[in-house]
Amino acid sequence: MHNKMETTTARLEEAEERIGELEDKVMEKEEAEKKRDKKIQEYEGKIRELSDTLKRNNIRIIGIPEEEERGKGAEGVLEEIIAENFPELGKEKGIEIQEAQRTPFRRNLNRSSARHIIVKLAKYKDKEKILKAARGKRALTYKGRPIRLVTDLSFETWQARKNWHKIFRVLDRKNMQPRILYPASLSFRIEGEIKVFPNKQKLKEFVTTKPALQEILRGTL
């Protein structure tokens, strides 16, 4: 009996040791996967930043019918938009357009919406000047048709910004001066201060301390 107990104890100790080794291997594997995922996120972030940098001087025009640039070119469309919406800006000299073109066709060629026009300006400050004027006017038109002027960003950055749209509209109706900061942070004014949130989780944590804001954003977070 004594020998059997010793044998059983030895086997249990051996089994525990093997289990411990397996647990260590599992933990090492999980740690390696976490490091790999972190590296992938870092690389994706760098690629997104590079893509956005290449688009730094670009303006994206949304809502222009496909046939409008025929004859005068896509460059002429932006010039007409400036003349129609910002006549004082149109009087300034030096706004140089390097190139302008429609976004490529996607697989669904039967879509009802027109492809966007991408305009590349020679100077970043001219792009900012135009977009600032657009934000100040709020409602833009082209030959009476509503349009939008926005900065041109990578698809990943656009998707991240799109996640804020519902919350942005609610805050905008409350005159809380919301803005989307690069790459995809939300800022707004509350209690006389500007608060910035890089993601929804940070905003959720902040909202729990502000009952009035919690009521405003009910159903959006």
Give the Å distances, CA to CA, from 121 to 25, 53, 100, 137, 142. 55, 14, 9, 21, 20
Is residue 221 in a domain? no
Same domain, 129 and 81: yes
Same domain, 190 and 131: no
Residue where a domain stops, chosen among 152, 171, 189: 152
Domain that holds residue 199: 158-216
Looking at residue 81, what is its pLDDT?
A: 93
Closest to 52 measured CA to CA, from 184, 167, 149: 184
Q: What is the number of domains present in the chain?
A: 3
Looking at residue 3, what is its pLDDT?
A: 67
Per-block average pLDDT, block size 10, for the chain (221 residues)?
71 81 86 88 86 93 86 85 89 84 69 85 94 90 94 90 94 94 93 95 95 94 85
Looking at residue 111, what is its pLDDT?
A: 56
Question: Whole-prediction pTM value?
Answer: 0.66
Same domain, 102 and 165: no
Same domain, 140 and 167: no
DSSP characters for the chain?
Answer: -HHHHHHHHHHHHHHHHHHHHHHHHHHHHHHHHHHHHHHHHHHHHHHHHHHHHHTTTEEEEES--TTTTTTTHHHHHHHHHHHHH-HHHHT-S---EEEEEEPPP-S-TT-SSPPPEEEEES-HHHHHHHHHHHHHH-SEEETTEEEEEEE---HHHHHHHHTTHHHHHHHHHTT---EEETTTEEEEEETTEEEEESSHHHHHHHHTT-HHHHHHTTTT-
Same domain, 148 and 62: yes
Looking at residue 107, what is its pLDDT?
A: 47
Looking at residue 106, what is its pLDDT?
A: 59
Same domain, 181 and 141: no
Is residue 102 in a domain? yes
Residue where a domain stops, chosen among 114, 137, 152: 152
Q: 104: cis peptide before it, omega within 30°?
A: no
Cα separation of 3 and 9, whole Å?
A: 10
- CATH number, residue 133: 3.30.70.1820
Pairing mode of beta strands 145-151, 97-102: unpaired
Give bridge partners of residue 58 from the DSSP assignment.
Answer: 120
Looking at residue 201, what is its pLDDT?
A: 94
Looking at residue 30, what is its pLDDT?
A: 86
Q: Are 202 and 184 in contact (CB under 8 A)?
A: no
